Amino acid sequence: MFDDFVTLGRSGLRVSRYALGTFNFGGAQPWSLDATAAGRLIAQYRDLGGNFLDCANSYGGGEAETILGDYLAGEPGLRDRLVIATKFGSNVRDGDPNAGGGGRKSILQSVEASLRKLRTDRVDLLWMHILDPLTPMDETMRALDDLVRAGKVLHVGLSNIPAWKVAEAHWLAQWRNLVPVIGLQLQYSLMERNIEVEHVPLARAYGMGIAAWSPLKSGALSGRYRRGDASNHNAEGRGSFLARILDEKAERVLDVVLQVAERHGASPAQIALAWLQAQPWVATILLGANDADQLVENAAASRITLSAEDLAALDAAGPPALTYPADFARRATGSISGGTRINGIAPPTGGGSPSQSRR
């Protein structure tokens, strides 16, 4: 089910369309998995054909990398068959201002610690986890380039970074012959589509693959939680997340998901995942299952093909809000095309500027 691979961005790195996220490995949260449970989840993911494991220096309070490293060490030869990703940026050492962010010192320290915990000599993909507004992007990109040249990191990507900073990183890499950004890890689901405004066009223009995290919006797209019934919202510590998510728009989206799920004889989660895999700009989808059974259920989404009618209904349920200047830019084709189709694209309804008059 997971043995369908894509090259990530403009690179030769082959990754599964579905990655296994390790956010819930270790730690002491209601959703945390111990090493034994995490090991079963990894084994099931491998049995399904997957090769892409995504981690971070901060997951599980720092335990996730150790759990993953111990698992890899227990099976000699497995490391080379898998794509291992981790992240830097989150400060995991209280009182030390240089233990987080995108500065050279922080990055080098974080990667060295990750390599020790993962028990490997290189990271296949290193993500910048969060924006550091205090450090010039030039310093961050040069440090990442040094790590690639040293063989400790093979590829780099950006996660949760504003589009304008992604563009800055891309052009710094282009102009100065630094390691390119091959991917963007971004929150994306039927209930969170704001990346379609800036990040998706940017990624398509610059050849970056998008890895979608929280594809089920903290479980809200599973169909188990509704706005009018909060009796189970605190299951697995989700209450605070669901309180923010389940607004009127989310309920409209979920209504359509349930309708499509009934037509396909599938679960709401499978339909939400099938919609994501139908988006041409999504390279890989990060799954965060609680157990092997849930992972198998989610994996079945890889076999679902949504019809044009299904996709149109889901798209219409919760489009992103186009604030200025995004909406102005959308209508620009109507101002420049003279009402004609160009490259197969017709001007949008209501396109053009009110200041323009037609003869």
Q: What is the set of active-site residues?
A: 59
Amino acid identity at 84:
I
Give the sign of the dihedral formed by CA 32, CA 36, CA 42, CA 45. Answer: negative
* Burial class of residue 218, CB neighbours in 10 A (0-12, 13-18, 19+): buried
DSSP state of 283: E
**Residue where the block lists tokens 């704001």:** 194
Of 206, 130, 193, give the one whose Cα is nearest residue 161.
Answer: 130
Bridge pairing between strands 209-213 and 153-159: unpaired
Q: List beta partners, residue 83.
A: 52
DSSP letters spanning 127-194: EE-S--TTS-HHHHHHHHHHHHHTTSEEEEEEES--HHHHHHHHHHHHHHTPPPEEEEEEE-BTTB-G
Helices (H) and strands (E) in the chain, counts: 13, 10
186 within 8 A of 196, measured Cβ to Cβ: no
| 30: number of Cβ within 10 Å | 12
CA dist 237 → 18, 91, 269 (Å): 25, 23, 19
229 is written with which tokens? 């019934």
Spatial CB neighbours of 157, under 8 Å, sequence gap ≥ 6: 8, 9, 85, 125, 126, 127, 128, 181, 182, 183, 184, 185, 208, 211
Secondary element (H or E) of residue 83: strand 83-88
How far from 116 is each of 112, 133, 200, 340, 343, CA to CA, in Å?
A: 6, 28, 35, 59, 51
